[in-house]
Amino acid sequence: MKETIKKILTRAAAYYTVATGAYSFVIFAMYSNEEGGALLSAKRVFLLLPFCLCLAAANTALASKTLPRGLSYPLHCAATMLGVYLCVILPAGMESRQRLVGTMVALVIYIVAMTVYALLTRHIKRTLAEERNYRSQFDDNEIKKK
């Protein structure tokens, strides 16, 4: 349990660093020409941390060897969407219809990203399995017999 918490916190710190850097870059790129426009919203920067914690917990569940794939994917989806809803959509102060649209857009993006992830993972596992099962036609024992 202690190792799992350590893994979640380490991943969350890495995600938070990247997310904060990306957010800073986007804000600077969009508003750098305006007077006082390139200021970061402290609220949004602080809300990135719980989102990164949700994402790190979801990714830890997804990478877990003990959970079956049929359970880890729905858990990952639920944790990620919960993080998006609580840390991104709710604080934005949207109306209920806009929140629904925002959640659906996030879900579509999630489905596309996870489809790409699943296909890449499947391809990598197949390639590794084929390489493990490979036997050389020119085995040393065969050469010595001739």
**What is the C-alpha to C-alpha distance for residues 97 and 94, in angstroms, rounded to an integer?**
8
DSSP string, 99-145: HHHHHHHHHHHHHHHHHHHHHHHHHHHHHHHHHHT---SS-HHHHHH
Q: Is the model more confident about 142 or about 101?
A: 101
Q: What is the dihedral of CA 10, 76, 98, 101, to 10 degrees?
A: 140
Q: Which of 26-35, 41-50, 108-117 has the highest mean pLDDT?
A: 108-117
Q: What is the pLDDT confidence band of residue 114, given thresholds at 50, 70 and 90?
A: very high
pLDDT in tens, 68-112: 878 888 999 999 999 999 988 888 888 889 999 999 999 999 999
